């Protein structure tokens, strides 16, 4: 773990310096919003994934930072938009950008970051990088649309839930590792392995996120406990809870959930039951299955320090508390 911390500690200042430099060049009307979301405590997971994948597959040039940071700009754009869609007041324990700035201002700032990300990638003049990133953006947006369409839909099953989280989270993480592999010039088998690694790690990442929603305090997670339930989102801990209900209990839940008439007392009771039954833990166990798939994809990589660090990132995903 010391090697991992040392490696990431060396790369983080370079990533942040590049991000800060790009933000400084944005129009003064956009700059405060972009700086707010990018300074909100993110760990630069996606840029690290791009860098580590490219290095693991033999890429040694220093021009990797625009590509790596484009993934952070894309991710930040989705956060700005998501918080408006969810009417979220907090992002990583701080006020969401749209609370400080207007919604219109925040939406358009997110669009600027989206444009910046695409501009940075286009400058590599590698068509497959552009198409990979563009497809990830499209799939992410479709995932978000499907989540909205299924809000307060008590009939959502695990397959539908998996489709949503793969879209809204995993495809962008997949793009991070996929783009790193493309930049490295690796053969098709390794590029596909990198994409599979990122996709399965991304699914695990969101599963853990959904577990955290029911098991952490607001101080730790940076958002209210049970926020997904309150917003009408059926995530895996809640799906597992519903499997424990009898027919009449399930009917009562479905009616109140779909009509948004669950009382605070009922919501708190559901959260307590999920916590007492360790259904968040069961969700983490499901995440472990996707981590194993990611590990199997990574086995195809040649031996390297970066491969070792990517392997170490997998238990980190499972152990996250926020």
Query: Quick one: pLDDT at residue 83?
Result: 85
Would you say residue 309 has pLDDT above 80?
yes
Residues 6+ apart with CB under 8 A from 216: 225, 321, 322
| Digit-coded pLDDT (tens) for 177-199 | 999 999 999 999 999 999 999 99
Domains of the chain in start order, with CATH, are: 2-319 (1.10.600.10)
The CA distance from 62 to 71, in Å, is: 17
CA distance to 121, 183, 217, 320, per residue, from 311 (Å): 27, 20, 29, 15
CB 72 within 8 A of CB 133: no
Mean of pLDDT values over 18-42: 90
What's the distance, CA 172 to chain centroid? Answer: 7
The CA distance from 252 to 241, in Å, is: 14
pTM: 0.92
- Give 217's pLDDT tier (boundaries 50, 70, 90): low
CB 305 within 8 A of CB 7: yes
| Digit-coded pLDDT (tens) for 84-130 | 887 777 777 688 889 888 899 999 999 999 999 999 999 999 999 99
Query: Quick one: pLDDT at residue 40?
Result: 74
Q: Tell me the angle at which helices 65-85 and 103-122 cross, rounded to the nearest 10 degrees.
A: 160
């Amino acid at each position: 773990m010391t090697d991992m911390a040392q490696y990431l500690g060396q790369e983080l200042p370079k990533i942040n310096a590049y991000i800060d430099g790009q933000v400084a060049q944005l129009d003064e009307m956009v700059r405060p919003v972009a700086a707010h979301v990018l300074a909100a405590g993110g760990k630069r997971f996606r840029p690290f994934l791009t860098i580590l994948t490219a290095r693991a597959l033999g890429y040694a040039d220093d021009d990797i930072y625009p590509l790596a940071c484009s993934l952070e700009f894309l991710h930040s754009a989705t956060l700005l938009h998501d918080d408006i869609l969810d009417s979220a007041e907090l992002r990583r324990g701080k006020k969401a950008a749209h609370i400080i700035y207007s919604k219109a201002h925040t939406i358009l700032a997110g669009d600027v970051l989206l444009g910046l990300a695409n501009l940075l990638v286009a400058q590599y003049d590698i068509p497959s990088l552009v198409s990979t990133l563009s497809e990830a953006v499209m799939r992410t947006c479709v995932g978000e649309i499907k989540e909205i369409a299924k809000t307060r839909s008590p009939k959502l099953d695990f397959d539908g839930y998996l489709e949503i989280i793969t879209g809204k989270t995993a495809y962008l993480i997949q793009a991070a590792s996929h783009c790193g592999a493309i930049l490295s010039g690796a053969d098709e088998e390794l590029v596909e392995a990198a994409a599979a690694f990122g996709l399965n790690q991304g699914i695990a990442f969101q599963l853990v996120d959904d577990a955290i929603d029911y098991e952490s305090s607001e101080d730790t997670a940076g958002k209210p406990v049970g926020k997904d339930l309150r917003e009408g989102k059926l995530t895996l801990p809640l799906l597992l809870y519903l499997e424990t209900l009898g027919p009449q209990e399930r009917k009562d839940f479905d009616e109140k959930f779909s009509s948004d008439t669950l009382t605070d007392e009922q919501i708190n009771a559901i959260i307590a039951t999920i916590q007492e039954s360790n259904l968040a833990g069961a969700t983490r166990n499901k995440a472990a299955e996707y981590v194993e798939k990611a590990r199997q994809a990574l086995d195809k990589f040649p031996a390297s320090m970066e491969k070792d660090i990517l392997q170490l990132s997998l238990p980190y995903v499972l152990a996250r508390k926020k």
